[in-house]
Amino acid sequence: MRAALKVVVAAILAMPATAALAKSPDCASWPTNMALTHLKNAGLIDIPSVIEAQTKAVRLASEKIGKDLYQQVYDITFHTKDGKKIEVITKNQASSEECSMSGVDIYVVSKKIDGSAGQPSDGTTKK
């Protein structure tokens, strides 16, 4: 009886560690850096002009597609010193051990069109 209780207690104590491993990784830096490199190579942005503190990466989706493998989608916005704003959507695979499990697909958002008449087309919301 005591041996069975020890096994149950050990299994319960191991659960938080297992749950932590199952959590989707926060890997914004990999797609952000790759997007910046590809934007530079395409001639769309000059890296020294990017205001790093204003760069914003928002994870839109993370879907488990394998054992510790996730498909992730980020909305990343870069701001430059001359007032330019470039927004991209990225898609890549990541794990808890490695953010760069795949290359990064990068889609430049050339125009954002909102479906609500009460919202302006620049992506900001009215208050």
Whether this prediction's pTM lies above 0.85 is answered by no
Classify residue 54 by its DSSP letter: G
Letter string b/e over residues 58-85, b meaning 16 or more CB atoms within 10 A of that residue's CB: ebeebeeeeeebbbbbbbbebbbeeeee
Lowest-pLDDT range of 74-88, 96-110, 113-127: 113-127
Cα distance between residue 85 and residue 119, in whole Å: 19
User: Minimal CA–CA distance to 101: which of 75, 47, 46, 62?
Assistant: 62
DSSP 37: H
What are the pLDDT digits (tens) for 24-41? 899 999 999 999 999 999
Residue pair 59/74 in contact by the 8 Å Cβ criterion: yes
Per the model's pLDDT, the better-predicted residue between 108 and 5 turns out to be 108
